[in-house]
Amino acid sequence: RWLFNQAVCTLYAFCGVLFGLCSLISLTVLSTVCCLKVCYPAYGRCWVALSDLHLQPSLHAGVLLLCVWAYALMFATAPLAEWGSYGPEPYGTACCIRWKASSREATLYILALFVFCYLLPCLLILVSYSLILWTVRVSRRAVRQH
């Protein structure tokens, strides 16, 4: 069983959700940026043009990381604002999101979490790497013809 009080359970679940979402969203952003760099090389040149405005590549990466953390924090803090909830897992040994929705709001949170924090990132990763593979294949054919 869970050995600590509800506050520690909530903190444990919050950290698990936050870091898990940060991981998946970071991989999504990474795959999307790789796709843009490989498949649309002009994307890299637009940041060179913006460097006149003192927007360095490290700042670009920092902005992306800030967006990743903000996105994950938005979904991780939702149960703290009573849109969904944290509690013990069914086996009672750890804490996570309460998947058995007890209200309409909790059901909507779980649905939003599924769509925006699982389905959409997975689709973006799949599309990004598919486009990269397609671009590499087309480039290889073009090189063979020359």
What are the tens digits of pLDDT across the range 58-115?
788 889 999 999 999 999 999 999 899 999 988 888 999 998 877 898 899 999 999 9
Question: 41 is written with which tokens?
Answer: 């090389």
Beta carbons within 10 angstroms of residue 112's beta carbon: 14
Q: Where are the domains of the chain?
A: 6-145
Q: What is the pTM of this model?
A: 0.84
Q: Is 100 helix (H, G, I), strand (E, B) or coil?
A: coil
Spatial CA neighbour of 107 closest among 84, 78, 77, 89? 84
The domain made up of 6-145 has a fold known as Rhopdopsin 7-helix transmembrane proteins (1.20.1070)
